[in-house]
DNA sequence: ACCGTACTACGAGGTTTATCGTACGAGAGG
DNA sequence: CCTCTCGTACGATAAACCTCGTAGTACGGT
């Protein structure tokens, strides 16, 4: 049962050319996921899933992060028991120049109530 | 010779400040609707529903146009038996600067890889 | 070795969505 | 008048989605 080559749990990510615009837009159209992406962009670093403090259970959390990952929006890397999430800004900017920035700017402008502050 | 007999049928549209980013992203995340928006943007004018030649029935067509209208992406105006559809570019650009342009550019780039490259 | 933490997998429930078919209303034209 | 075309409204169906609970896996620390 023990497989030696699994010291680092790997997660499948879509390649850059596999990222679809519709998938990205759909991933960003959910308030919860948009909030995650906004935090990821503002903090600009890798964050663990539990850092976001989302008002949902872990199962739902996993679901949303999977949608974001499969859409090519974020990258997930295991690190011990934690899993770090990072925005795939390079890929997104290369594929859809200006898209992420305008979405983030629009989200900021819209005064998201979940952000509080 | 009816000198532009304005139709009495009016359709409800959301005001500019009622347009939500998530709604717009969701409306644009459907391939059918994205295609409509692209055609609307490229032709730059008001088009009837039947002009688009969508591979779906009229009922489905009505559904998609309603989603686009309620999201604030398009404007619909009756004119005789036809209904003209126009992009709400002014409102979208004012609310989410650069968003529509980057989405359209991304869609062009993705749908026509042979055209540009 | 054991336990706690962090996340995943699987399945279920309830809602939304996309699609269609059919029936209907509004205008244009013979 | 009648008919034709264009689009809407309503219902139905199948798929997708969001949420959750429970059970399980992987890793680190005591």
In the three-class reduction of DSSP (H, G, I as helix; E, B as strand; rest coil), residue B84 is classed as strand
If one counts every other C-beta atom within 10 angstroms of the C-beta of residue A42, the result is: 11
If one counts every other C-beta atom within 10 angstroms of the C-beta of residue B107, the result is: 21
**What are phi and psi for residue A8, nearest 5 degrees?**
-115, 115
**Phi-psi region at A73: left, alpha or beta (left = phi > 0; alpha = psi -120 to 50):** alpha
**Nearest nt to A63, CA vs C1'?**
D18
Taking CB atoms and an 8 Å cutoff, what residues of chain B touch A67?
A: none
Fold of A4-110: Arc Repressor Mutant, subunit A (1.10.10)
How far apart CA B21 and CA B24 sit, in angstroms, is: 5
Mutate to test the interface with A, among B22, B26, B28 (most CBs of A within 10 A): B22
- pLDDT of B7: 52
The answer to whether B26 CB is within 7 Å of strand D is no
Four-point Cα dihedral A34, A21, B107, B69, nearest 10: -50
Q: What is the pTM of this model?
A: 0.88
Higher pLDDT, A95 or B79: A95
Measuring CA to CA, which residue among B46, B107, B51 is closest to residue A99?
Answer: B107
DSSP summary character for residue B112: -
Mean pLDDT of A71-81: 91
Domain segments of chain B as ranges: 4-110
DSSP summary character for residue B52: G
pLDDT band at A1 (very low <50, low <70, confident <90, very high): very low
How far apart CA B83 and CA A104 sit, in angstroms, is: 34
DSSP per residue, A28-93: HTSHHHHHHHHHHHHH-S-EEGGGG--SS-HHHHHHHHHHHHHHTSEEEEEETTEEEEEE-HHHHH
Å between B88 CA and nearest CA of chain A? 16
Percent of chain B with pLDDT over 70: 88
Taking CB atoms and an 8 Å cutoff, what residues of chain B touch A28?
A: 25
Residue A29 contacts B where some CB pair is shorter than 8 Å: yes
Tell me the per-residue pLDDT of B41-72, one tens digit each, with 9 for 90 and over.
998 778 888 888 889 999 999 999 999 999 99
């Amino acid at each position: 049962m023990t497989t030696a080559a699994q010291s680092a749990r790997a997660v499948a990510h879509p390649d850059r050319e596999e990222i679809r615009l519709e998938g990205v837009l759909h991933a960003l159209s959910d308030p919860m996921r948009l909030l995650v992406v906004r935090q990821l962009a503002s903090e600009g670093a890798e964050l663990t899933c539990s850092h976001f403090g989302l008002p949902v259970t872990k199962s739902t959390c996993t679901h949303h992060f999977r949608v974001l990952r499969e859409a090519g929006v974020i990258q997930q890397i295991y690190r011990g028991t934690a899993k770090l999430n990072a925005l795939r800004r390079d890929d997104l900017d290369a594929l859809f120049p200006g898209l992420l920035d305008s979405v983030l700017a629009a989200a900021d402008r819209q005064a998201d109530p979940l952000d509080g502050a």
